[in-house]
Amino acid sequence: MTRHRRLDRIVQALEATYPDARCALNFKTPLQLLVATILSAQSTDKLVNTVTPALFRKYRSARAFARSDPAELDTMVHSTGFFRNKSKNICAACAIIDTKHRGRVPDDMDALLTLPGVARKTANVVLGTAFEKAEGVVVDTHVKRLSKRLGFSKETDPEKIERDMMKKVPRDKWIAIAHMLTHHGRGPCKARKPDCGSCTLADLCESEDKRV
């Protein structure tokens, strides 16, 4: 089987296994997703989801976040880690959204990348999940690990991994592939002890980490 065909079959198997895969962060608006994604850095989606309900009840707009009391915001996001930097970035990003984008999160990659705390991963999350725009592939911890295990990329740098994924996965699957790989990484294909015996990709996997 050619490498191209094998990767196609991996994508098909992921689609069959995780047909309802979606972003694990809870949100109702693009702004909420942006804030939640900033908070998720070096944290877990599950933890962020315990913090954001109270946060989103108190701050309902970009202007509200921009004008928030720094100490109070720090306290509310403290448990997500690196809280001072995160709250600073959220306030600064929301100030730009309020003044330059009329309070609306921009749906453009270049504009998103000008916001404090926003790199390609966060921008891709917002564009793909909130706006259904496939401008790239989200490379989180799971995607980074599984892209190597499954043969999508040999790179370690997230932007290089993203470029490889964009070449090897059809554009109409760029958004879904990240969600599916994240689900798979949280399920059988864990970092330390992958459960290859129950993995639907076992016959297609050529990883040195494969357990038999």
- Give one word for 133, left, alpha or beta, with left for phi > 0 and alpha for psi -120 to 50: beta
Instruction: Tell me what pLDDT residue 211 has.
Output: 53
- From residue 73, how far is each of 52, 70, 90, 161 by CA, in Å? 11, 5, 10, 34
Residues 40 and 114 in one domain: yes
Residues 55 and 117 in one domain: yes
Residues 165 and 107 in one domain: no
In a domain, 211, yes or no: no
Residue 144 annotated in active site: no
Q: Report whether 178 contacts 143 (CB < 8 A).
A: yes
In a domain, 161, yes or no: yes
The token duo for 212 is 């038999």
Average pLDDT per 10 consecutive residues for the chain, totaling 212 residues: 92 97 97 98 96 98 97 98 98 98 98 98 98 98 95 96 98 98 96 92 80 50
In a domain, 119, yes or no: yes
Residue 140 annotated in active site: yes
What is the C-alpha separation between 13 and 207, in angstroms, rounded? 16
Instruction: Say how far residue 186 (Cα) sits from the centre of its chain.
Output: 13
Instruction: Tell me what pLDDT residue 19 has.
Output: 96
Report the number of distinct structural domains present in the chain. 2
Residues 93 and 183 in one domain: no
Instruction: Tell me what pLDDT residue 46 has.
Output: 96
- From residue 28, how far is each of 17, 23, 53, 61, 165 by CA, in Å? 26, 12, 11, 12, 28
What is the C-alpha separation between 122 and 33, in angstroms, rounded? 9
Residues 35 and 125 in one domain: yes
CATH code assigned at 116: 1.10.340.30
Which residue in 8, 69, 110, 121 is the catalytic one? 121
- From residue 85, how far is each of 70, 72, 165 by CA, in Å? 11, 14, 30
Which residue in 86, 98, 140, 168 is the catalytic one? 140
Residues 54 and 123 in one domain: yes
2: helix, coil or strand?
Answer: coil
- Long-range CB contacts for residues 121-124, cutoff 8 Å, separation at least 24: 121/37, 121/158, 122/34, 122/37, 122/38, 122/41, 124/162, 124/178
Q: Name the residue range of residue 174's domain.
A: 3-22+139-204
0.85 cut: is pTM over it?
Answer: yes
Size of the chain in residues: 212
